[in-house]
Amino acid sequence: MNLVPNGMTRRHFMSHMAATAATIPAIQFMQHLQVHAETVKKNQKACILMWMGGGPPTIDIWDLKPGSKNGGEFKPITAAGTQISEHMPKTAAQFDVLNTVRSMSTREADHGRGRYFMHTAYVPNPTVIHPTFGSVVSHELGSKRKELEIPSFVSIGGDPGSPGFLGMGNAAFVVNTQGRIQNADTDGMDPNRFKNRLAMLGTIEDSFIASKRGEAPQAHKDVYKKAIDLMTSKQMEAFRIDKEDPKTIDRYTNAGAPAGMMGRGNNDFGRGLLMARRLVEAGVPFVEVGMGGWDLHANVFNTLKDRNLPAMDTAISALITDLKERSMIKDVVVVWMGEFGRTPRINQDVGRDHWAASWSVMIGGGNLKGGLGVGQTDSDGLTCESKPYLPGNIWATACHALGIPTTTVHTSKRGRPMKIANGEAPIAELIG
């Protein structure tokens, strides 16, 4: 869905959307879904990426080392055929469809480089900007969904990266966890005033087009029209989580938690995952939901125990339960990752530092196998004792689940062939 033409900034484009949105009445999204239920259920594959910004300590979440000097304060619990942290009990109960990949070895322990590598499967290169994987899915699947009127790649509270050589038509559509569009806050706008402004803008644009000053004026008007089409779509109601049953919202946000716990109705990550479920149900093939607060150089165990893990456990378990109940779990791949892991060694500030040599990612759903712990690190978590995996292996596995051929090759703006997922193979244990 080509929303922004070359030469126009996203801020300029969003200003059009802000103006347009002021005139839009409320629409009943659930009625729309019921009318189009058969379309929604036609095996529309999707991926939800849970992005843990800062680099999560996976040794304390997915690959615990009890008895080791690096083991930390937490104990493992059983999660189907593997083990995870004791502070993730709700997620453990859903692990029949989830897996950990415990031998990631990605060498990039800088935030920016690690984020780029994990999102694109390519290390940064000054000669080319590679597309983030959400843009790849948008390019491969979004263009085929003619009934989809909203963007095919949505980022909720995250830092999704660039569409690279795939172009701005496959860029992330960025909203916050309230569903508000970046640079397009329409609260307090007078609808009549903006109708008049839109009419005036149309007149000016027609005049510029008639003056034959190149392609830019027509491109400007085209994107303006697309903004109107987008904001008038019934499918925009997918961003409105306030339309959900309050009990469903509570399940995602842990509204019944004791006072003082993160997530007592204040779980932005939970709201983001609920919005993600609504979006994939509406036909969006890729949604990224960000959760920050993972750069834990100090006080790692208290932060995990009291804040990050309760919020994450509630949100992930609610999403998986919801996908199962709606018979969507076989069509929706879920991926959990950050830019790297954290050091097995605990530092003097009771924290863990950057570490990319041996860490974990979680992946499941999408008709992949479940309940597995793939790969192995040594007893202290310092090295991979089994086959090491790269981000390309994760995304190739996701491609397999999404029905995107792993033999796909894109072409950069300089004419260079670029293999999808950097040519890496899917993880055999997960696809059978």
The per-residue pLDDT for 222 is 54
Burial class (CB in 10 A: 0-12, 13-18, 19+), 383: middle
- For 423, other C-beta atoms within 10 Å of its C-beta total 14
The β-bridge relationship of strands 153-156 and 286-291 is: parallel
Residue pair 65/380 in contact by the 8 Å Cβ criterion: yes
Report the candidate in 304, 309, 298 with the shortest Cα–Cα distance to residue 269.
309
The per-residue pLDDT for 172 is 93
The per-residue pLDDT for 217 is 57
The per-residue pLDDT for 176 is 87
CA 52 to chain centre: 10
Tokens of 370: 């479940």
Report the candidate in 181, 162, 139 with the shortest Cα–Cα distance to residue 1.
139
- For 199, other C-beta atoms within 10 Å of its C-beta total 10
Report the candidate in 236, 263, 181 with the shortest Cα–Cα distance to residue 16.
181
What is the 8-class DSSP label of residue 131? P
Q: Domain ranges for the chain, please list them.
A: 1-35+183-236, 40-179+240-431
Residue pair 152/419 in contact by the 8 Å Cβ criterion: no
CATH of 40-179+240-431, one of 2.60.40, 3.30.70, 3.40.720, 1.20.120: 3.40.720
Beta-carbon contacts of 107 under 8 Å, excluding residues fewer than 6 positions away, are: 356, 357
pTM of the model: 0.84
The per-residue pLDDT for 205 is 64
What is the 8-class DSSP label of residue 181? B
Reading phi first (left if > 0) and then psi (alpha if -120 to 50, else beta), residue 161 is in left
Residue pair 210/198 in contact by the 8 Å Cβ criterion: no
pLDDT tens digits, the chain, 432 residues: what are they?
Answer: 444 433 444 554 454 444 444 433 333 444 444 444 444 445 589 999 999 999 999 999 999 999 999 999 999 999 999 999 999 999 999 999 999 999 999 999 999 999 999 999 999 999 999 999 999 999 999 989 999 989 999 999 888 999 999 998 899 999 988 877 655 555 555 666 656 666 676 677 667 666 665 555 555 555 555 566 676 688 889 999 999 999 999 999 975 554 444 444 579 999 999 999 999 999 999 999 999 999 999 999 999 999 999 999 999 999 999 999 999 999 999 999 999 999 999 999 999 999 999 999 999 999 999 999 999 999 999 999 999 999 999 999 999 999 999 999 999 989 999 999 999 999 999 996
